[in-house]
Structure 1
Amino acid sequence: MSTQSLIESQREGAEVSYGADICKEQSMTLLEGIHLPKGLLPLAAIEEVGYNRATGFVWLKQKKSTTHVFKAIGKTVSYGPEVTAFVEDRRMKRMTGVKSREFLIWVSISDMYIDDPESKRITFKTPAGIGRSFPVSAFQAEEEEEEEEEKPEAKEGDGK
């Protein structure tokens, strides 16, 4: 089943939001609600977010693929025009649209989870089951950095 047909099959009963600002807010709220770091999906130009609570299916649509470097761990991640996953507490599984650069190749990420909240580590797995763990803080710190960068922009329009 293609990503688009999977999204269409999950639309009935889903909460769907449109527009960059509300979609960014919805993606942050979703991550917070399932106890994953808010910096995991650093997507600025999201056009649509859908969440079917009954099945746990989530989708995010953006105009084009984007690439983000998680500086704290030195990893480059690519997010496709459509990112989908089934979510539950501390876990995103059967993901599509997310790839990590490992040496010279792009590797699909199919699962991300925090098994033990006390360990403060998040694990990412490929469809082949190969996984790597990183500190959760690597994803929270970038979110905090982005918030700091956004503050000066907000002051530009106040005439000072």
Structure 2
Amino acid sequence: MASNKSREGDERAGAEIVYGADDCYRHSIELLEELGFPKGVLPLQDLEECGRVRETGFVWMKQKAPYEHFFAGTNTRVSYAMEVTAYVEKFKMKKMTGVKSKQVFLWVPITEMSIEDSASNKIYFKTPMGIGKSFPITAFMTDEEKHKYLEEKAKK
């Protein structure tokens, strides 16, 4: 266990860390926008701590308690552990931990999400087995984002 703790410390060395629900919420939204993801794709609740190591792309978000969210746009239930971690880069979150999707009767871990082609308007989610599924990006947008997105699409 000690080696696990030191690895965790190494992984988080040099991190920018914010605490408190308001600052963490703002931090998580800014991160999603910077990466090119819709704001609703990680609907975490009661965030207590968020961290980011810019050099490695490692991020984490800690909530007070695990949380389940139902995405009506995909008809999918997703479970978020007390801590969600990932390595991030533009249009991609990989080596994710703490996120599971309910598929039929099983909870399946989600280890990666990406937007392969921004023109396709789809987000692709991958399991540890490499099996994936894509959904329309609009299914994860806030109402405000969806309105703006549809307005821009109508102009084209």
Q: Give the alignment of 1:43-82 within 5 angstroms.
A: 43-82=44-83
Report how many residues are paired. 143
* Contact 2:45/2:67 (<8 A) preserved: no
Q: Give the alignment of 1:1-160 within 5 angstroms.
A: 6-140=7-141, 143-144=142-143
Query: Judging changes above 3 Å, is the alpha-carbon distance between structure 1 residues 4 and 58 closer, same or farther for their aligned structure 2 residues?
Result: farther
Q: Please provide the CA RMSD for this pair.
A: 1.7
**Residue 150 of structure 1 aligns with which residue?**
none
* 2-structure distance, mates of 1:105, 1:139: 22
Q: Deviations over 1:112-143 (max 9, x none)?
A: 00000000000000000000000000001xx2
Unaligned stretches of 5+ residues in structure 2: 145-156
Counterpart of 2:137, as a letter, is V
* Contact 1:3/1:82 (<8 A) preserved: no
SS at match of 2:79: strand
The percent of aligned pairs where both chains have the same amino acid is 52
SS at match of 2:62: strand
* 2-structure distance, mates of 1:23, 1:68: 19
Task: Kindly state the Cα deviation for residue 73 of structure 1 after the two structures are TM-superposed.
Answer: 1.1
What's the TM-score, normalizing by structure 2?
0.86
* 1-structure distance, mates of 2:41, 2:7: 22
Q: Deviations over 1:66-116 (max 9, x none)?
A: 000001111000000110000000000000000000011100000000000
Counterpart of 2:41, as a letter, is L
Query: Judging changes above 3 Å, is the alpha-carbon distance between structure 1 residues 98 and 15 closer, same or farther for their aligned structure 2 residues?
Result: same
Counterpart of 1:102, as a letter, is Q
Query: Judging changes above 3 Å, is the alpha-carbon distance between structure 1 residues 5 and 72 closer, same or farther for their aligned structure 2 residues?
Result: farther
* 2-structure distance, mates of 1:74, 1:4: 37
Unaligned stretches of 5+ residues in structure 1: 146-160
Counterpart of 2:16, as a letter, is E
* 2-structure distance, mates of 1:124, 1:43: 17
Query: Judging changes above 3 Å, is the alpha-carbon distance between structure 1 residues 3 and 37 closer, same or farther for their aligned structure 2 residues?
Result: farther
